[in-house]
């Protein structure tokens, strides 16, 4: 690598010494302000590699699972009430309860989890893993889309009893495994949408 003839320090920029102790330092500093040299020193945007996605540890496990368990219990309670009332409503209550659950899953994480009573109960929010800012409404909907589709199937008589509920059971089991196995506690929907659930301390 070529070196400065005055101080022997290898050139960082071809033909220009950037050593502050070099007698030519002042001239080098002036030359370094040249737009041409700045262009040489700065890699083109296409050559820059994006940094890694930002990640923070999941909330305490009892907190993460507690909020999820609260929501799952409530959703299944709505389904139970709807099923028990089917004999008095000619089956309408069963489809209605599944529709209520599907709608809740579609909307609950809007605003970073603002309408999720489980997350509000344990002080959590949904963030974008690329920025750690509150996730957009589109990402929040996408992270729950598998459940929305599963509960949407459950609205359909006969087919919903088999396909919809089987899919819901698989999703719940898979998400439990992912929450326990990954250090960030991200579930299937989080990997699909690029989101993560993090702790949000309440202001005193």
**Concatenated DSSP letters for 129-188?**
TTT-SBPPHHHHHHHTHHHHHHHHHHTSTTHIIIIIHHHHHHHHHHHHHHHHHSTT---H
What CA–CA distance (Å, rounded) separates 165 from 104? 17
> pTM for this structure?
0.71
Split at pLDDT 50, 70, 90, the class of 80 is: very high
73 or 23, greater pLDDT: 73
Cα torsion 126, 142, 101, 183: sign = negative
Residue with tokens 């409503």: 89
Q: Is the pLDDT of residue 104 over 60?
A: yes
Backbone angles phi, psi at 128, to 5 degrees: -80, 125
Pick from 151, 186, 144: nearest CA to 167? 151
User: What does the DSSP 8-state code read for residue 45?
Assistant: G
Per residue in 143-162, is it b (16+ CB within 10 Å) or e — as a string? bbebbbbbbbbbbeeeebee
Backbone angles phi, psi at 123, to 5 degrees: 60, 70
Per-residue model confidence (pLDDT) at position 202 = 58
Query: What number is the average pLDDT over the span 109-116?
Result: 94
Give the model confidence (pLDDT) of 129-144 as tens digits.
999 999 999 999 999 9
């Amino acid at each position: 690598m070529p070196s400065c003839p005055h101080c022997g320090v290898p050139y960082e920029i071809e033909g220009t010494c950037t050593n502050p102790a070099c007698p030519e330092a002042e001239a080098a500093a002036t030359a370094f302000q040249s737009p041409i040299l700045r262009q040489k020193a700065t890699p083109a945007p296409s050559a820059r590699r994006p940094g890694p996605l930002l990640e923070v540890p999941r909330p305490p496990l009892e907190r993460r699972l507690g909020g999820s368990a609260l929501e799952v219990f409530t959703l299944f309670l709505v389904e139970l009430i709807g099923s028990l009332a089917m004999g008095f409503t000619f089956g309408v209550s069963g489809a209605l309860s599944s529709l209520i659950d599907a709608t809740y899953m579609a909307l609950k994480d809007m605003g970073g989890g603002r309408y999720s009573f489980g997350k509000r109960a344990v002080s959590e929010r949904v963030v974008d893993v690329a920025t750690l800012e509150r996730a957009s409404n589109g990402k929040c909907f996408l992270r729950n889309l598998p459940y929305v589709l599963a509960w949407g199937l459950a609205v359909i008589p006969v087919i919903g009893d088999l396909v919809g509920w089987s899919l819901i059971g698989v999703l719940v089991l898979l998400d439990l495994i992912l929450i326990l196995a990954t250090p960030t506690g991200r579930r299937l929907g989080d990997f699909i949408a690029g989101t993560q659930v993090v702790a949000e301390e309440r202001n005193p």
